[in-house]
C-alpha cells in the first residue's frame, strides 16, 4: 500500500508539469504541443526499449492494439483537449473540471471493478470523497474568482473541451489498470515503453497532418513547423514532458496500478491536481489564498482517509 502510494505521488508530481506547458508556450497551438510532447515521448522510448526487449517481444498483437488505444485516447486526445482548454479558458477553470477526476474514477471503478478488486464500502469511502470534493471546491472557488470578466463563449468552449479531457482520463487509468491487473507478471516499465513506441508513429502522422493543414483556421500562420517561434524553449519543454510526464509518469502510475485497487488509485490522481496547483502558484510568484490553503488541506485529508479504507471481498452466489 505504501509503495503503491509513493509511486502514485511520483506520477502526480510529474504529470502536473503538463498543466504549465500551455502557459509557458501560449503562442503554440494545442495540436503542436500534443504532437511535440508525444514525438519526444516516442523518441525517448526507442533507446529505453533495449532494456525491456524480452518483455516487449513477449507482447501479443492484442497487447499492442491495447497500447495503441491507450496512447490515442489517454495521450493524444487527452492532452490535445487539455492544452486547448487551458489556453481558451485558463488554468483555474480547467483545474476545477480535471480536479474532479479522483471522485469520478473512484465512483466509476468502485461500481465496475468490485468483483476483481473487492468493494470499497460506500459508507467508509464517503468521507474521503466528500473531503476531496469540498477541497476541490474551495481551491477552485478561489481560482475562479480571480478570472474576472472575460469572453464567456470562449470560457464555455474551454469548459466543454475540458470535459472531453476528463472523460479521456477517466477511461485511461481504468482501462490501463485492467490490462496491468490481468497481466500481473508483466513489467510495468515495459508497458510504459510500449505505449511510447506506439505513440511515435501517431506523432509523426500528426506532424505531417499539421504541415499539410497549417493554413487552416485555428492554426496560427506565424507558427513555423516543426519547432515554432521559440525552438529551444519548445524542444526543452517537450523533452522534459516526454521523459518525465509521459514515460516516467506512466511508469510510476503502472507500478501503482499493479499494487492498489483501481477505486483507490483513482483517488490518488489528486496528487496531479496538487502538483499542478503548486506549479501554477510558483509561476505566479504568489502564495495561495486562505480558502485555497483550506482546500489543499482537505484534499490531503481525503487521500489519507482513503488509504485507511480496505476493500471487502464480494460474496459470489452459489
Per-residue model confidence as pLDDT tens digits over 137-155: 887 777 667 666 556 677 7
Burial class (CB in 10 A: 0-12, 13-18, 19+), 287: exposed
The residue assigned the cell 521559440 is: 230
Confidence at residue 318, expressed as pLDDT on a 0 to 100 scale: 42
Per-residue model confidence as pLDDT tens digits over 253-276: 888 888 887 767 777 877 887 888
Tell me if 193 sits within 8 A of 48, measured CB to CB.
yes
Instruction: From 170, 162, 144, 150, select the one nearest 84 (Cα to Cα).
Output: 162
For all residues of the chain together, what is the average pLDDT? 82
Q: Could you tell me the maximum CA-CA distance found in the chain, to the nearest angstrom?
A: 68
Q: What angle do CA 30, 36, 38 make, to 5 degrees?
A: 105
Pairwise pLDDT comparison (202 vs 309), residue with the higher score: 202
Confidence at residue 317, expressed as pLDDT on a 0 to 100 scale: 45
Report percent pLDDT > 90 for the chain. 24
Residue 46 CA to residue 62 CA, distance in Å, equals 21
Q: What angle do CA 209, 201, 73 make, to 5 degrees?
A: 85
Residue 141 CA to residue 145 CA, distance in Å, equals 6
Residue 293 CA to residue 179 CA, distance in Å, equals 37
Tell me if 88 sits within 8 A of 158, measured CB to CB.
yes
- Omega prior to 192 cis, within 30 of 0: no
Beta-carbon contacts of residue 145 (< 8 Å; ≥ 6 apart): none
Residue 315 pLDDT grade (very low, low, confident, very high; cuts 50, 70, 90): low
Residues 169-178: what's their mean pLDDT?
Answer: 88
Confidence at residue 235, expressed as pLDDT on a 0 to 100 scale: 92
Residue 275 CA to residue 291 CA, distance in Å, equals 17
The length of the chain is 318
Residue 311 pLDDT grade (very low, low, confident, very high; cuts 50, 70, 90): low
pTM: 0.79
Amino acid at each position: 500500500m505504501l509503495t503503491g502510494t509513493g509511486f502514485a505521488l511520483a506520477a502526480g508530481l510529474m504529470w502536473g508539469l503538463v498543466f504549465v506547458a500551455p502557459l509557458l508556450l501560449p503562442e503554440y497551438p494545442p495540436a503542436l504541443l500534443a504532437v511535440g510532447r508525444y514525438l519526444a515521448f516516442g523518441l525517448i522510448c526507442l533507446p529505453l526499449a533495449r532494456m525491456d526487449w524480452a518483455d516487449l517481444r513477449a507482447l501479443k498483437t492484442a497487447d499492442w492494439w491495447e497500447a495503441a488505444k491507450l496512447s490515442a485516447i489517454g495521450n493524444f486526445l487527452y492532452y490535445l483537449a487539455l492544452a486547448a482548454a487551458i489556453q481558451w479558458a485558463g488554468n483555474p477553470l480547467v483545474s476545477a473540471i480535471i480536479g474532479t477526476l479522483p471522485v469520478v474514477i473512484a465512483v466509476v471503478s468502485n461500481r465496475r471493478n468490485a468483483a476483481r478488486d473487492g468493494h470499497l464500502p460506500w459508507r467508509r469511502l464517503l468521507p474521503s470523497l466528500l473531503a476531496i470534493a469540498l477541497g476541490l471546491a474551495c481551491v477552485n472557488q478561489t481560482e475562479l474568482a480571480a478570472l474576472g470578466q472575460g469572453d464567456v463563449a470562449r470560457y464555455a468552449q474551454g469548459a466543454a473541451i475540458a470535459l472531453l479531457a476528463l472523460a479521456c482520463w477517466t477511461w485511461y487509468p481504468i482501462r490501463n489498470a485492467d490490462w496491468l491487473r490481468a497481466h500481473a507478471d508483466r513489467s510495468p516499465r515495459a508497458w510504459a515503453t510500449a505505449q511510447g513506441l506506439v505513440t511515435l508513429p501517431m506523432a509523426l502522422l500528426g506532424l505531417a497532418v499539421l504541415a499539410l493543414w497549417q493554413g487552416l483556421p485555428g492554426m496560427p500562420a506565424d507558427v513555423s513547423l516543426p519547432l515554432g517561434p521559440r525552438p529551444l524553449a519548445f524542444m526543452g519543454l517537450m523533452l522534459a514532458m516526454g521523459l518525465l510526464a509521459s514515460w516516467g509518469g506512466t511508469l510510476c502510475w503502472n507500478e501503482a496500478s499493479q499494487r492498489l485497487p483501481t477505486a483507490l488509485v483513482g483517488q490518488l490522481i489528486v496528487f496531479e491536481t496538487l502538483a499542478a496547483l503548486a506549479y501554477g502558484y510558483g509561476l505566479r510568484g504568489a502564495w495561495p489564498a486562505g480558502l485555497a490553503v483550506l482546500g489543499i488541506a482537505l484534499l490531503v485529508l481525503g487521500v489519507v482517509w482513503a488509504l485507511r479504507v480496505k476493500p471487502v471481498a464480494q460474496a459470489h452466489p452459489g
